[in-house]
Structure 1
Amino acid sequence: MGRAFDIAIVGGGLAGGLTALAIRRAHPTLSLALIEAGESYGGNHRWSWFENDLSEAGAELMAPFAMTAWSGGNEVRFPAHTRQLSANYRSLDSRNFDTRLRRDLPQEAILTGSRVTQLAADGAELVSGEKIRAGAVIDCRDAVPSPHLTGGWQVFLGQHLRTERPHGIERPVIMDATVDQPGAYRFIYLLPMGPDEIFVEDTYYADSATLDPELLRERITDYCRDKGWDAHVLHEETGVLPVITGGDFSAYRASLETPGVVLAGARGGFVHPLTSYTMPVAVENALAIAGAAEMGGEGLTRFVSNRADRHWRATGFYRLLGKMLFDAAVPEERYRVFERFYRLPEPLIERFYAARSTGFDKVRILSGKPPVPVSRAVTALLGKGAPLVHESPQ
């Protein structure tokens, strides 16, 4: 017969896990299943956000997680501009995410190591052959490359390091772009985890989704050597995230939708298209879904689909900027776009990362001397952009 639940959530990453937690808190009598193909929730990842990115309700949802918090602001570094900003920063390791979900969700909701082979409006079939029945099914699996979208890629490798002596970094460094720019916008991201522990991530806004772990490890080693840090690796993570600049969103969702199944999370288009920051969007979407959870499968599917369409329309400005970044800026000069951006007023910067830019913010960002040649900008705006698909091996 298989097990039966009121709601089955497929995909136990950030979006799926937070949605399960939000529903559990809002409707403790609803039975839940959080189905994840891997052995733990959240995969191998670190999520970070600015303190003011979250609403009061969002901060309350995140409060139980064991996160790292910094109260000394943050900074950015560019060849012609270094700046300290006041916004405080937060970061959550997926291992702590997994631990808390296992503690707060009912034992029967925990379905890790359970790969789904088939979805339907009334449930899911697992690779084991078991059929999970549900009144509503929410698909929060990972985003996938799609020819219906255009853009580039954010490629990164991060290492949690222990240094032989104190590293001297006092606050998060969101971007250190004083490093070489090898055919992409490259920056180093630094999170001081303790006096002798630091998270160092080598990140690229690149045209290709290619990730070369050995090369990035070598570059992190060189960066640490230049800083005088003798360090060894405690943990490592990698990632390749889409940076969306345009496309046919309706066709994209239609290519992934299963009739009657709620399509949410990054797979459903709930991302910041330029920064790839997912925490603020994931939190607010989890709260919204929890508030509508009693609608049932059909009503919840329409509700989330409408939210996805509104989110796509609301984030068009960021896709425009991404198009300028990838299609107008010379790869080695892309850092100039961010260098100029970080000269703008700090409240504008904060709203930008939270995807809440005002009309005045947008005018301010686009005004003044552009950081890319006008002719290339015009060509970029008229062009279609590169499809967001992985390149086939030669």
Structure 2
Amino acid sequence: MSASDSPPMRPNRADIVIVGGGLAGGLIALALARWQPQLHVELVDGGEHFGGNHVWSFFASDVSGDGAALLEPLIAARWDGYDVAFPAHSRTLATGYASLTGERLDAELRHVLGARGRTGVAVTGLTPTSVTLADGQQIEAAAVIDARGAGPEVAAYRGGWQKFVGQMLHLSAPHGLTRPIVMDATVEQIDGYRFVYVLPFGPDRLFVEDTYYSDTSDLDHGALAARIADYAAAKGWQIAAVEREESGVLPVVSGGDFDRAWPLQDAVARAGVRATLFHATTGYSLPQAVAVALAIARDPTPETLASRLRAMAADNWRRGGFYRLLDTMLFDAAEPDQRYRVLERFYRLSPGLIERFYAGKTGWRDRIRLLSGRPPVPITAAVRAILRGGSSDNL
């Protein structure tokens, strides 16, 4: 029989197919394996490894219960508190902090899923019930979840960008740090609000990230890598090797249109950043990723999966209105090299308020406190920014 006479390839079948094995997709797969083991779940990712080269961090106050249990196997390091440093203010906070790594996520997914987790697989098409791969193979499913990270929906946002380069450094001598430095804004303020983020993963290993809240998405990789080396040298840390590196450009959203970002007629279920499920100011997506994974594991009904996830995303967008207001003031009211003052003031507030802010649970009392007192930006500029930016925001 010639190739042209061969019968068509019989499609694979699954209960749920997740496309994208990063944080959001990986956590959904692990949650389903833990709480719905009878389901046949497929996870496909275009990269060589699940999770890529990423480090994801979270505060102990961000998750609890089943969410904390879901994350536990993925934690590479944890600490009892963290430090921040600004030109006129430094502080140690006692909130617990922990980090996950792409390596841990990859290992756990391969252990749990086995052959149902596939990497290096390019996807060329998605429908609510099928996935088409680059080799022509098709996977049919009761439901498909698109968790591939940021995509065309970013065109629906207004605001700025959080961009970064991070390196895992092996040092020639111990560094002496016992806690993370979540923000070191004592560095030169370049290209907007700049800070350095430092995680001590071992006595002679540090993850160091150079981060910017910038007006542009342009990322000069070489310049940021050089600044990491300069920062290490200024601290007296001699770099023996750069073990690995990551970079990223994330939206910091001050406004936009949710219905444009996820049109109602788009019936493919989404998760993670592609679903607008992230914190508008920090870009953090881990608390939302955990919440979505648990919600799907509790009710994986395929017929309503897309509508329920879109409802969760719409609720996250609505609750993010206050954070978008803060982003408007950060980007439109503060001069780029003075943006650090906004965060410097923020870190003078109570630990509980700071915890709730990062978890996306800022209540009305917190909002009053954040907006009261002497503003860190000119009040007239803040009012003008709000009036300019707020009129077309779809909440």
User: Per the shorter chain, which TM-score range?
Assistant: over 0.9
The question of whether the paired residues in 2 share the 8 Å contact of 1:4 and 1:132 is answered with yes
Please report how far the alpha carbon of residue 384 of structure 1 lies from its aligned counterpart in structure 2 after TM superposition: 3.6
Please report how far the alpha carbon of residue 183 of structure 1 lies from its aligned counterpart in structure 2 after TM superposition: 2.9
The question of whether the paired residues in 2 share the 8 Å contact of 1:120 and 1:258 is answered with no
Match of 1:115 in 2: 122
Distance 1:137 1:179, change over 3 A: same
Match of 1:195 in 2: 203
Q: Please list every run of at least 4 consecutive aligned residues from structure 1 whose deviation after the TM superposition is greater than 6 angstroms.
A: none
Match of 1:356 in 2: 361
Secondary structure of the residue aligned to 2:314 is helix
CA distance in 2, matches of 1:155, 1:183: 10
Show the 5 A alignment for 1:2-21: 2-21=11-30
The question of whether the paired residues in 1 share the 8 Å contact of 2:15 and 2:39 is answered with yes
Match 1:239 to one of 232, 236, 248: 248
Instruction: Work out the number of aligned pairs and report it.
Output: 380
Secondary structure of the residue aligned to 1:63 is helix
CA distance in 1, matches of 2:88, 2:375: 16
Match of 1:251 in 2: 260
Deviations 1:138-162 (A, max 9, x none): 1111112533211111110111112
Secondary structure of the residue aligned to 1:276 is coil
Please report how far the alpha carbon of residue 66 of structure 1 lies from its aligned counterpart in structure 2 after TM superposition: 4.3
Show the 5 A alignment for 1:133-282: 133-144=140-151, 146-231=154-239, 232-254=241-263, 258-259=266-267, 261-282=268-289
Match 1:128 to one of 123, 135, 148: 135
Given residue 235 of structure 1, which amino acid in structure 2 is its aligned partner? R
Instruction: Report percent identity of matched pairs.
Output: 49
TM-score after normalising by structure 1:
0.94
Query: Runs of 5+ in structure 2 lacking a partner?
Result: 1-9
Query: Runs of 5+ in structure 1 lacking a partner?
Result: 388-394
The answer as to 2:56 corresponding to 1:51 is: no
Given residue 307 of structure 1, which amino acid in structure 2 is its aligned partner? M
Given residue 287 of structure 1, which amino acid in structure 2 is its aligned partner? L
Secondary structure of the residue aligned to 1:243 is strand
CA distance in 1, matches of 2:108, 2:155: 37
Deviations 1:245-266 (A, max 9, x none): 11011111119x643x212211
Match 1:338 to one of 319, 335, 343: 343
The question of whether the paired residues in 1 share the 8 Å contact of 2:187 and 2:195 is answered with yes
Deviations 1:167-223 (A, max 9, x none): 122200000000000131000101111121111110000011111111011111111
The answer as to 2:388 corresponding to 1:383 is: yes
TM-score after normalising by structure 2:
0.93
Secondary structure of the residue aligned to 2:188 is coil
Match of 1:392 in 2: none
CA distance in 2, matches of 1:228, 1:308: 45
CA distance in 2, matches of 1:310, 1:55: 21
The question of whether the paired residues in 2 share the 8 Å contact of 1:119 and 1:258 is answered with no
RMSD: 1.5
CA distance in 2, matches of 1:34, 1:68: 26
